[in-house]
């Protein structure tokens, strides 16, 4: 399994959780600052992934891999 | 003229079968179905007829494209054979419906049966993973459907593994190949997240396999969630009804399977801006809170000062009231003897030297007489 794909989904889930915490009025400012910084890093990584990742095609009968 | 052949009955049957096998190893016959019967849930018997002739067929239920009824037009591939006991018949190799009307009628019959079994129930539908990591693709690698699907999916999303099982999607072999492909993916140790079964549009006859009972059942029975896309807008096929999701075309299937990365990147930019807004809001709220604290603090200090002032005033009033000088002014006197205050008449003796303090001065005196009450 492609490691990048797993990373995308993990990062995407982490971003969702992080956004919810950031919107929570009980989150203190120190934590909000930390969440904000982490969120911006995740967004950059997701953007890079989306711009670079390619699909692979594997034909079952002869196991040839195409891009 | 040659002499006539003299043979036994069995020899004649063998001879005729050899001749038939040589001349007609397999024939395709088109005709109207009549006297259709199923025996012991395994064997099928029927006739095909036209205006002037009728011939008998024998086969198994596994060769049926679905439920049949008399009057449907069939195209049957079969081997002619003379049975030593039961006479002439054709042994079925493949049965297909013939003509748009019959295809539709048979499809309706099968649809009613599968509907009653619950194969198309909404409760059976599973959500497809969005986006999937691995896609099992069942289609013909030479088809436009394959090209269209790959083009759109590559445009929209990346990082996925697409496992292609290259199968025929029309004609007799397509049925077995489709079923085997679904089975193969389902038996994988690490199966894909979703199965996509697709082909482009075609005639009603071309698309018949997607109304085949066994194809429909194999899709309904897949452990892996399924997406079926047959390129036609009218008359949804039974395979599509049995699938977890259907798409109108191969391109539409790709659109349904994955998000559009351009839209996702745009959404990420919006999310980034939202995070700025959330943080600014949090800072603003903190400023408001600090201002409130400051105000509360000031109000509290003022209140404390006022309270303390009132307390002091109160004590001052009490002290003033108790000032001995003020009491002396009211006409009272304090008597000292040897610098000690004497409070009772009985404590005095005649000739005691005493000092009497008044509000404006004092007197030295001698006690002449003690009078007690």
Q: pLDDT (tens digit, 9 = 90+) per residue, B306-354? A: 898 999 999 988 888 888 888 888 889 999 999 999 999 999 999 999 9
Residues B44 and B156 in one domain: no
Owner of token pair 């086969």: B59
Count of helices and strands (H, E) across chain B: 9, 14
Q: How far apart are CA B43 and CA B183, in angstroms?
A: 25
Helix intervals (H) in chain B: 9-23, 100-117, 144-156, 172-186, 213-220, 238-242, 250-257, 261-321, 324-329
Kindly determine whether residue A29 and residue B286, on different chains, have CB atoms separated by under 8 Å.
yes
Residue range B163-190, pLDDT digits in tens:
999 999 887 789 999 999 999 999 999 9
Pair (B135, B238) in one structural domain: yes
Q: Are B132 and B237 in contact (CB under 8 A)?
A: no
Mean of pLDDT over chain B: 91
Whether the pLDDT of residue B3 is over 60: the answer is yes
* Residues B248 and B275 both lie in one domain: no
**Cis status of the peptide bond prior to B220, with omega within 30 of 0:** no
| Residue in A closest to B181 by C-alpha | A60
User: With contacts defined as CB-CB under 8 Å, which chain A residues touch B157?
Assistant: 55
In terms of domains, do B182 and B127 share one? yes
Instruction: Using the Cα atoms of residue B7, residue B12, residue B16 and residue B18 in order, give the sign of their dihedral.
Output: negative
Residue A13 has pLDDT above 60, yes or no: yes
Interface test with B, best of A45, A56, A57, A65 (most B CBs within 10 A): A57
Band the pLDDT of A63: cuts 50, 70, 90.
very low
* Burial per residue of B254-278, b for 16 or more beta-carbon CB atoms within 10 angstroms, e otherwise: bbbbbeebeebeeebeebbeebeeb
- pLDDT category at B101 given cuts 50, 70, 90 is confident
pLDDT computed for residue B233 by the predictor: 59
User: How long, in residues, is chain B?
Assistant: 373
pLDDT of residue B232: 67
Question: Is the Cβ of B163 closer than 8 Å to some Cβ of chain A?
Answer: yes
Domain enclosing residue B157, as ranges: 117-259
Question: Would you place residue B105 in the very low, low, confident or very high pLDDT band (cuts 50, 70, 90)?
Answer: confident
Contact flag A54-B141 (C-beta cutoff 8 Å): no
| Contact criterion met (CB < 8 Å) for B160 and A55 | yes
Interface test with chain B among A8, A26, A50, A61, by most B beta carbons within 10 Å: A50
Q: Tell me whether residues A59 and B282 touch, CB distance under 8 A.
A: no
Other C-beta atoms within 10 Å of B63: how many?
15
Percent of chain A with pLDDT over 90: 30
pLDDT band, residue B54 (cuts 50/70/90)? very high
Per-residue model confidence (pLDDT) at position A5: 47
Residue range B127-135: mean pLDDT, rounded: 92
CA B66-B72-B75 angle, to 5 degrees, is 75
Are residues B205 and B178 part of one domain? yes
Tokens at B212, concatenated: 């085949």
CB contact under 8 A, A4 and B159: yes
Residue B127 belongs to some domain of the structure = yes
List all residues of chain B from 111 to 140 with a beta carbon under 8 Å from chain A: 133-134
Residues of A with Cβ-Cβ distance to B184 under 8 angstroms: 60
Quote the radius of gyration of chain A (alpha carbons, Å). 17
Query: Domain check: are B167 and B286 in the same one?
Result: no
> How far are the Cα atoms of A19, B180, B213, B317 from residue B177, in angstroms, in the given order?
47, 5, 14, 109
Kindly state whether residues B31 and B124 are assigned to the same domain.
no
Q: What is the mean pLDDT of residues A36-49?
A: 91
Same domain, B217 and B286: no
What's the confidence (pLDDT) of residue B82?
Answer: 93
pLDDT-derived band at B236 (thresholds 50, 70, 90) equals confident
- Indicate whether B54 and B124 sit together in one domain: no
Quote ipTM for the complex.
0.80
Q: B183 versus B298: which is more confidently predicted? A: B183
Which pLDDT score is estimated for B195?
97
| Containing structural domain, residue A10 | 3-66
Residue A64 has pLDDT above 60, yes or no: no
Q: Which of B98, B126, B151 is the last residue of a domain?
A: B98
Write out chain A residues lying below 8 Å of B275, CB-based: 19, 22, 36, 39-40
In whole angstroms, how far apart are CA B90 and each of B96, B172, B263, B273? 15, 19, 60, 74
How many domains is chain B built from?
Answer: 4
CA distance A25 to chain B (A): 8
Nearest to B164 among A53, A54, A59 (CB): A59
pLDDT interval class at A26 (50, 70, 90): confident
Check residue B88 and give its pLDDT.
92
Number of domains making up chain A: 1
Q: Are residues B253 and B271 in the same domain?
A: no
**Residue B238: CATH number of its domain:** 3.40.50.261
Residue among A5, A9, A32 minimizing CB distance to B279: A32
B268 lies in the same domain as B217: no
**Pairwise CB contact (< 8 Å): B133 & A58:** no
| Residues comprising chain A, all counted | 67
**Full DSSP string of B206-252:** GGGGGG-HHHHHHHHT-SS-EEEEES-SSS--HHHHHSSEEESSHHH
B199, B246: one domain: yes
Which residue, among B72, B65, B32, B68, has the nearest Cα to B51 in the 3D structure?
A: B32
- Residue B195's Cα: distance from chain center in Å? 16
Which of A22, A49, A60 is the closest to B165 by Cβ?
Answer: A60
- Put simply, the answer to whether B164 touches A8 (Cβ < 8 Å) is no
Partners of B133 on chain A (C-beta within 8 Å) are: 1-2, 5-6, 9
Chain A residues within 8 A of B165 when measuring between CB atoms:
60-61
């Amino acid at each position: 399994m492609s490691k990048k794909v797993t990373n995308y989904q993990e990062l995407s889930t982490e971003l969702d959780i992080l956004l919810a915490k950031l919107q929570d009025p009980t989150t203190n400012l120190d934590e909000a600052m930390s969440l904000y910084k982490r969120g911006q890093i995740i967004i950059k990584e997701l953007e890079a992934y989306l711009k670079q990742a390619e699909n692979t095609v594997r034909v079952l009968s002869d196991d040839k891999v195409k891009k | 003229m040659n002499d006539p052949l003299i043979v036994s009955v069995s020899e004649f049957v063998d001879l005729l079968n050899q001749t038939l096998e040589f001349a007609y190893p397999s024939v395709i016959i088109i005709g109207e179905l009549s006297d259709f019967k199923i025996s012991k849930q395994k064997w099928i018997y029927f006739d095909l007829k036209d205006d002037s002739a009728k011939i008998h067929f024998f086969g198994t239920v596994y060769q049926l494209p679905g439920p049949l009824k008399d009057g449907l037009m069939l195209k049957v591939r079969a081997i002619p054979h003379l049975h030593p006991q039961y006479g002439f018949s054709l042994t079925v190799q493949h049965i297909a419906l013939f003509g748009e009307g019959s295809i539709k009628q048979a499809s309706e019959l099968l649809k009613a049966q599968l509907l009653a079994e619950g194969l198309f129930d909404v409760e059976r539908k599973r959500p497809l993973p969005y986006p999937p990591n691995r896609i099992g693709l069942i289609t013909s690698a030479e088809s436009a459907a394959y090209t269209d699907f790959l083009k759109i999916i590559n445009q929209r999303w990346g990082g996925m593994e697409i496992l292609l099982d290259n199968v025929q999607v029309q004609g007799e072999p397509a049925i077995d190949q489709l079923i085997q492909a679904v089975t193969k993916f389902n038996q994988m140790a690490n199966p894909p997240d979703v199965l996509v079964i697709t082909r482009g549009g075609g005639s009603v006859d071309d698309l018949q396999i997607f109304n085949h009972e066994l194809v429909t059942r194999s899709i309904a029975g897949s452990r892996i969630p399924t997406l079926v896309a047959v390129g036609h807008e009218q008359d949804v096929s039974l395979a599509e009804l049995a699938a977890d999701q259907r798409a109108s075309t191969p391109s539409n299937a790709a659109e349904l399977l994955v998000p559009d990365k351009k839209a996702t990147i745009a959404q990420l930019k919006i999310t980034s801006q939202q995070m700025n807004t959330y943080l600014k809001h949090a800072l603003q709220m903190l400023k408001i809170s600090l201002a409130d604290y400051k105000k509360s603090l000031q109000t509290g200090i003022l209140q404390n000062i006022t309270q303390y002032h009132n307390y002091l005033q109160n004590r001052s009033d009490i002290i003033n009231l108790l000032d001995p000088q003020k009491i002396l002014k009211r006409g009272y006197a304090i008597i000292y003897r040897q610098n000690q205050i004497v409070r009772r008449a009985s404590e005095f003796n005649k000739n005691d030297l005493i000092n009497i303090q008044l509000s404006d001065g004092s007197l030295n005196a001698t006690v002449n007489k003690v009078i007690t009450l």
